[in-house]
A = this chain, B = another copy of it.
Amino acid sequence: MVNKELTLDTEEKILQAATKVFERDGYAGARMQVIADEAGMNKALLHYYFRSKEKLFSKIFLEKYNKFFSTLSILADQEMDFFEKIDKVIDSYMEMLIQNPEMPSMLINTITHHPELIQKLNTEGAQKMRIVLQSESEKGNIIAVESLQILTSVVGLCIMPFLAKPIAMHVFKLDMDFYQQVLLNRGPFVKKAVRAILKP
């Protein structure tokens, strides 16, 4: 590697372009040529830097999702009141979703098309969270129910309006501004909802 700065720049351009295209079109729908156009360069360069479409996607996917899962891990380890912790989890979910509304659907698409990538996701953070829930349940601080039911509920409550956005906007004939407002109000609503659900 000779010109480090320039190289990183090209690599970065590719990654950004590829992220955009993969998010918009999914893996199977994405075209290397389109990514190259988007990055303003030749298609062969993509292969020069990342060997294959598969490897390019894998890198982007794992980096993005493992980063999110690792914030979960950090939160789980922090010393704080249980409901405060739950609120923080919801906050971090919502923040990530507002910045990055396509993450859930990209994850779903990846389950369908690249199940092997799912195996490479960090499991630590979510596991810790499950243990926290089990412990609170045993102490009687929250309802006694399989912790998976709770975890999927929190995640589902957070991401659903993002997943359903195109359908909901069509079905209820809503405009973007209105829907954006619904999304921004989601965090506080979910916090209340989760408290209500968890009350023993």
A: residues with CB less than 8 A from B are 24-26, 28-29, 104-105, 107-109, 111-113, 115, 118-119, 121, 123, 126-127, 130, 145-146, 148-149, 151-153, 155-157, 159-161, 163-164, 166-168, 170-174, 182, 185-186, 189, 192-193, 196-197, 199
For the complex, give the distance between the alpha carbons of A152 and B157 in Å: 7
- The interface residues of chain A, by DSSP majority, are classed as helix
Q: Chain B residues near A159 (CB, 8 Å)?
A: 156
Task: Kindly name the residue among A123, A171, A172, A189 whose own CB sees the greatest number of chain B CB atoms within 10 A.
Answer: A171
Residues of B within 8 A of A167 (CB): 107, 111, 118, 121
The interface residues of chain B lying within 8 Å CB-to-CB of A171 are 121, 123, 126-127
Asked whether A26 lies within 8 Å of B109 as measured between CB atoms, the reply is: yes
User: Which residues of chain B are near A168, meaning CB under 8 Å?
Assistant: 148, 151-152
User: Do B170 and A112 have beta carbons less than 8 Å apart?
Assistant: no
In the bound complex, do residue B111 and residue A170 qualify as a contact, i.e. CB atoms below 8 Å apart? no
A173 to B197, CA, bound (A): 26
Residues from chain B with a CB closer than 8 A to the CB of A156 are: 156-157, 159-161, 163
Given contacts A171-B123, A196-B199, contact A163 B108 (CB under 8 A): yes
Give 16 A-B contacts (CB < 8 Å), ordered by A residue: A26-B113, A108-B108, A109-B109, A109-B112, A126-B172, A127-B172, A148-B172, A149-B185, A152-B168, A153-B160, A156-B159, A156-B161, A160-B160, A192-B197, A193-B197, A196-B197
The answer for the CA separation of A24 and B112 in the assembled complex, in Å, is 7
Whether A170 lies near B108 (C-beta < 8 A) is no
Chain B residue numbers with a CB within 8 Å of A186 are 149
Q: How far is the CB of A183 from chain B (nearest CB, A)?
A: 10
Assess the B119–A170 pair: CB atoms within 8 A.
Answer: yes
With most chain B CB atoms within 10 A of its CB, the pick from A25, A151, A173, A197 is: A197
Whether B155 and A160, one on each chain, are in contact in the complex, defined by CB atoms closer than 8 angstroms, is: yes
